Amino acid sequence: MPTTPALGDVLEIDDRTLLVFGQALDVAHDQPDAANALVHRAGDTLFLVDTGVTDAFRVALRSAVDRVGPWTRLVVLTTHGHPDHVGNNDLADELGRERNVPIEHYVPARDLPQMLDPAAYWIRSFSRVAGIVALPAPPKLAGDKVVSLFQPLRPFAAVTRTYEELPLERIALGAVPMTGWSFADGAVQVLRSQGHTAGHVVVHLRDSGLVHLADEGNGPCGVMQDADQLKLQTVLGAVAALFENGQATVLTDGHTFAVRRADEAASYLNGLLDQAMALQQLALSATKDKTPVDPHEFAERYGRGVTELGVGGANPNPMFTGMTAVNQLAEIGLRPDGSESGASWSRPALANPAPVAGMPRGLALVPAAIAMLRWKLQKKDR
């Protein structure tokens, strides 16, 4: 296998598990990134974890499904709603028709809005950093351009449902209690992580000792508007402990084109956590004694620090680094001073709230009484 696999290359992890490699993002050359996908057989059930994007990747997936042994049922699991992971989700319908087998497809409910309107999601993401980092075009044009690369984009199959329609289960990831859903009598576990995106899940393949982080392992800090740094770092720590305790042996993710095993996986995950701490310290140093903070200057200094620390993450580029910088400002407690593009950021003034009067008095009783009457007539008090 070459150092950087080509789109659609396949790595055999064991006789029932394959990793199908995607590709990196190259907007300048109109190349979408395509996430790695897992093909895994548990008993007579075939599991596809993410489906990438592009027709070429679809062909690679179709070929891979026949390399893990016979199966008579198909379950497609989507880790999150970004277009590089969901473009070929309708492959579930296609394989079901061709093989005449029952099919299921599950997606995270909290990622449905971006799957239904990916352009709006990316436009909103770019709008947050307009005037702070260099964008190749205004947010709408930039968002439309990015989403246009991911074709065909079919995130839904005829059988698509959300995970949240299934009963939620308590699942122990090693010694760490988590929640999620299990399939094939527990052979495949889907765990809620919600760090990289609002609905993100990670997947544990019990019999292969494999944890697929998807994009929770993209880097030490989340990039997108709906990223949650605490949840991201929590799942990295939980999975690191799993490998340290010998309860998992293989680590895969959505974009690094690597399979890490045992101690190497634990070291990698702990390294991401160390990087997260270093970047938070960098943010504190860059904003110390500065009120307000110029977000453009902060993003430039943050970008230099990322380079010096050697923290790139998946698909490293100045635009994504700038988006991470904005998230880092919020993470250390700063807020924008206005709604205009490129507004300065400050820590909120810590002033005690004014006393609340409670029930109205005097003439103020009249509108309050009217409001109460309407409330009761509408039976909202029962």
Query: What ranges make up the beta strands (E) of the chain?
Result: 10-14, 17-20, 37-42, 45-49, 73-77, 103-107, 160-162, 169-173, 176-183, 188-192, 201-205, 210-212, 250-252, 260-261, 335-336, 345-346
Q: Is the pLDDT of residue 262 over 80?
A: yes
> Under CATH, what is the fold of the domain 10-276?
Metallo-beta-lactamase; Chain A (3.60.15)
- Rounded Cα–Cα distance for residues 36 and 253 (Å): 7
Report the residue count for the chain. 382
Q: Is the pLDDT of residue 315 over 70?
A: no
pLDDT value of position 193: 97
Residues 242, 14, 200, CA angle at the centre, nearest 5°? Answer: 50
CA 76 to chain centre: 17
Write the pLDDT tens digit of every residue in 64-82.
Answer: 999 999 999 999 999 999 9
Q: Is the pLDDT of residue 322 over 70?
A: yes
Write the pLDDT tens digit of every residue in 277-287.
Answer: 999 999 999 99
Q: Is the pLDDT of residue 54 over 80?
A: yes
User: Where along the chain do its domains lie?
Assistant: 10-276, 290-346
- For residue 358, what are the contacts with CB-CB under 8 A and spacing of at least 6? none
Work out the percent of the chain whose per-residue pLDDT is above 90. 85
Range 256-285 average pLDDT: 95
Q: Is the pLDDT of residue 1 over 70?
A: no
pTM of the model: 0.94
Strand-pairing partners, residue 161, are 106
Predicted confidence band of residue 58 (pLDDT cuts 50, 70, 90)? very high
| Angle, helices 295-309/262-287, rounded to nearest 10 degrees | 150
78, 350, 63: which is closest to 203 by C-alpha? 78
Backbone angles phi, psi at 170, to 5 degrees: -85, 125
Average pLDDT of every residue of the chain: 94
Q: Is the pLDDT of residue 312 over 70?
A: no
